[in-house]
Structure 1
């Protein structure tokens, strides 16, 4: 499977401001934003599942805890925060196998993609809204940090 990379220009200022908030706060801001923006795509993927398979539909989730294939794929990534959207494992940690079988097909079954069309239909909106959402999230995080600093200063 080919790795899909999208590029967003003009986020250098946002990165600088995120760095000023501190590593943990910046990471949490990015994670909240990723989950918020990927959830509509997850809903679209659930809607596009080609079979009435409640296990597969119910397994499609957004997470910042990478596991299995996503974890191996991103093991050398230098990203501060990562999120994934797709069929996820439950108790045994494995995603239902029918997800891959439906998406890519088999020798006897043609592909019926649902994840890629969900990504394609929502990626433009997701990428366009990232900068606006980031400024909003950064402002909220900065306000929380300032409030906490004032509270600590008042305690002396």
Structure 2
């Protein structure tokens, strides 16, 4: 299941990101999104049933890659996308149930409990990471200028 979140009022952050080189902006956004998603993944992992093999709990994570099958089903909508959840085919059956198994939700409750915190982490994390990136770029420009002079 895909969840899209629209946030208003982040124009200053957007302008600051656009002021960075594209690859730097992507790296900044990726780091912040992955860090903000980790508490949701941890909560999902904690709520996931252990099951006979324990694969569901072990497969929880935050990442930028999908399986080949998932990639075919999901079209890329943004330059930076981060995915939270288990990488176990049985997860959908466990989360939503089927005719042979009652649902045991683990990711949805984790998302519902953590989405507001994740949004705040993204807002504050983006400012911090943008500031660090700008400082790194300034140090690099200073180094290059000194090197060119002498």
Aligned length: 147
Measure the CA separation in 2 of the matches of 1:70 and 1:100. Answer: 13
Measure the CA separation in 2 of the matches of 1:69 and 1:32. Answer: 25
- Alignment partner, residue 91 of structure 1: none
Give the alignment of 1:1-156 within 5 angstroms.
Answer: 1=1, 3-52=2-51, 53-68=53-68, 70-77=70-77, 79-88=78-87, 96-156=88-148
- Alignment partner, residue 92 of structure 1: none
- Give SS of 1:61's match: strand
Measure the CA separation in 1 of the matches of 2:110 and 2:69. Answer: 19
Question: Post-superposition, which runs of at least 4 consecutive aligned residues in structure 1 deviate over 3 A?
Answer: 66-70
Q: TM-score, normalised by structure 1?
A: 0.86
Gaps spanning 5+ residues in structure 2: where? none
Give the aligned CA root-mean-square deviation in angstroms.
1.6
Q: TM-score, normalised by structure 2?
A: 0.89
Query: Retained in 2: the 8 A contact 1:103–1:114?
Result: yes
Query: Retained in 1: the 8 A contact 2:49–2:56?
Result: no
- Give SS of 2:19's match: helix
Gaps spanning 5+ residues in structure 1: where? 89-95
Q: Which moved more, 1:22-31 or 1:99-108?
A: 99-108
Deviations 1:58-90 (A, max 9, x none): 11111122334553454241x1211001112xx
Query: Retained in 1: the 8 A contact 2:50–2:57?
Result: no
